[in-house]
Structure 1
Amino acid sequence: MKVAVFSTKSYEKALLAKVSETSELKFTYFTHSLNAITATLGDKFEAICVFVNDDVNSQVVNMLAKQNIRHIALRCAGYNNVDIETASRNGIRVSRVPSYAPEAVAEHAVALIMTLNRKIHKAYNRIREGNFELNGLMGFNLKNKRVGVIGTGHIGKALVTIMRGFGCEVICCDPVPSPEIMDMGVTYVDLDRLLTQSDIVSLHCPLNEKTYHLINQTSISRMRDGVMLINTSRGGLVDSQAVIKGLKSGKIGYLGLDVYEMESDLFFENRSTEIIGDDVFERLATFHNVIITGHQGFFTLEAMNEIASTVVANLVTCNTPQANPENFLV
């Protein structure tokens, strides 16, 4: 099977090549992201492999169908960037990687929490300048703080376990409560109660019509003054303009982002010699109590190996009884 891989990085080439050695897959790698302009590169391939910021909208899917693409293999868990209905109508299979070392993203969320709380970013810069003053670096103990986890899939569940290890009280919100989490003694509450009672709010839910801008001006107004907000899930969950207002008013005391709603125009590329034209992102980056990382929460060796292995397995088993139904959306 000939597979076109879009938005490819060097580290992905090595991993995909390694795990596909014994298969009959033939990968061709493109550094370009997939969109209506680059979709023509999929000609003469049987499948394409895409990442979180590739744009696989209805127009693109129809173009791929005309090129006889029969499989869209995602290298991620989220699929909000793919028009599933159009793919189904065209008879194109769509696969994803629903679970890959969920501890990787959960641990990154904790890294953001600890950095913001103990002001590691400030301390690091001070020490490099020979400034050993402690004023302005005071944090708080995590023990006995209440952490609200929105979304308790694999990643949310991993974060619950970690935060309970810190001695935190954890409350959760999810339309489908996890029996495993409830067995830990963790309470599920509605969104309003979680927002009003949590010292730290961490997002771990998918992006869809119901969750788009879940964090907005109204939901922020319900939060505790000085709340810590963490998003390592999808950028569209958060209304960036509303968050800026929350930061300016002091309602949001700490903000940790590994994702951003307009990240497709920024992330995964070296833009250090460019003028960033996104004024909203630039404003967010000016706050001293904001930490932004470039969608690296998933980026551990274990997670990357799992992603590559699952992508290859999805491609190889696509039309066989061995295909894992959990991995296929269509």
Structure 2
Amino acid sequence: LIAEAEGFSRTAYQLLSKLGDVSEMNFSQEELTIHVANCEILIVRLGLNISSTVMDAAPKLRYIASATTGTDHIDLEAARQRNIKVVTLKGETAFLESIPSTAEHTWALLLALLRKIHVAYSHVVRGGWNRQRFRGNNLAGRKFGILGLGRVGRQVAQYALAFGCEIAAFDPYLETWPNQNVFRFETAAELLRWCDILSIHIPYD
């Protein structure tokens, strides 16, 4: 059962159809609980909460697949208790290194904030043209702090370097520092005191 069908790859759908009966629909949380009774494999993204209630409504469920690195939307303990295997992209390092989507989105949001693009756009749509109200800020020369220098943090660091920022980070889990262009702080507090801009790239859990 593909429970969040919007934008789902047609190629992937065809491949899955060769393995068994595949249904797809964009379910609400309430609808999902009703339609999972005969489901053996549930494919989701981030829009639905796969709770113990959902699992109890799906006695045949054996796999939950989510094309995400995070698992906050899945009750992992409930899945473990029911012998349901959870398959995600977490740990798929080689594959994920080739995907810059999150880092690019981070940079787009940062530029929008510094250049006030979102409010300037709304102003123009309403017929305004007051440039002085929306003066932005440069990135070049800014002290750019990164909390968590994993895959996304490293990608963001490359963008910051290209924009001429001074870069530092804190990550207590790295034994080998991956980027010599990024200064390493020993504590998060030191990083926070130093930086003008902070980009956070750590898991919720």
TM-score by length of 2: 0.83
Cα RMSD (Å) = 2.6
Residue 81 of structure 2: aligned partner: 89
Q: For the Cα contact (< 8 Å) 1:170–1:187, is it kept in 2?
A: no
Which AA in structure 1 matches 2:116? K
- C-alpha separation between the residues in 1 aligned to 2:24 and 2:142? 47
How many residue pairs match? The answer is 200
In the TM superposition, what is the alpha-carbon distance from 1:106 to its structure 2 partner? Answer: 0.9
Q: For the Cα contact (< 8 Å) 1:13–1:29, is it kept in 2?
A: no
Residue 157 of structure 1: aligned partner: 154
Residue 48 of structure 2: aligned partner: 54
Q: For the Cα contact (< 8 Å) 2:167–2:183, is it kept in 1?
A: yes
SS in 1 for 2:4: coil
SS in 1 for 2:131: coil
Which AA in structure 2 matches 1:83? D
Q: Among residues 25, 32, 38, which one is paired with 2:27 in the alignment?
A: 32
Q: For the Cα contact (< 8 Å) 2:50–2:74, is it kept in 1?
A: yes
> Does the alignment pair 1:198 with 2:190?
no
Q: Among residues 17, 31, 35, which one is paired with 1:41 in the alignment?
A: 35
Residue 294 of structure 1: aligned partner: none
- C-alpha separation between the residues in 1 aligned to 2:35 and 2:184? 50
> Does the alignment pair 1:77 with 2:69?
yes
- C-alpha separation between the residues in 2 aligned to 1:76 and 1:97? 5
- C-alpha separation between the residues in 2 aligned to 1:157 and 1:82? 27
C-alpha deviations, 1:177-212, integer Å up to 9, x for none? 27353444432442222222221112221112xxxx
1:93 and 1:146, CA in 2 relative to 1: closer, same or farther beyond 3 A?
Answer: same
- C-alpha separation between the residues in 2 aligned to 1:129 and 1:81? 38
Higher RCO (C-alpha under 8 Å, 6+ residues apart): 1
- C-alpha separation between the residues in 1 aligned to 2:97 and 2:44? 16
In the TM superposition, what is the alpha-carbon distance from 1:23 to its structure 2 partner? Answer: 4.4
Which AA in structure 2 matches 1:156? G
- C-alpha separation between the residues in 2 aligned to 1:32 and 1:199? 42
Q: For the Cα contact (< 8 Å) 2:36–2:57, is it kept in 1?
A: no
Residue 171 of structure 2: aligned partner: 174
Which AA in structure 2 matches 1:55? N
- C-alpha separation between the residues in 1 aligned to 2:97 and 2:28? 22
**Worse-superposed segment, 120-129 or 160-169:** 120-129
Q: Among residues 108, 111, 132, which one is paired with 2:108 in the alignment?
A: 111
SS in 1 for 2:86: strand
User: Where does the alignment leave 5 or more consecutive residues of structure 2 unmatched?
Assistant: 91-95
Paired-residue identity, %: 23
SS in 2 for 1:181: coil
Q: Among residues 2, 14, 25, which one is paired with 2:10 in the alignment?
A: 14
Which AA in structure 2 matches 1:201? L
Which AA in structure 1 matches 2:40? E
Which AA in structure 2 matches 1:17? Y
C-alpha deviations, 1:98-140, integer Å up to 9, x for none? 3375411111111111111112223334445564432122222
In the TM superposition, what is the alpha-carbon distance from 1:53 to its structure 2 partner? Answer: 3.0
SS in 2 for 1:109: helix
1:93 and 1:21, CA in 2 relative to 1: closer, same or farther beyond 3 A?
Answer: closer
In the TM superposition, what is the alpha-carbon distance from 1:170 to its structure 2 partner? Answer: 1.8
- C-alpha separation between the residues in 2 aligned to 1:53 and 1:156? 24
TM-score by length of 1: 0.54
1:53 and 1:189, CA in 2 relative to 1: closer, same or farther beyond 3 A?
Answer: farther
> Does the alignment pair 1:123 with 2:117?
no
Which AA in structure 2 matches 1:205? I
C-alpha deviations, 1:77-97, integer Å up to 9, x for none? 110121212212222110112
- C-alpha separation between the residues in 2 aligned to 1:92 and 1:76? 17
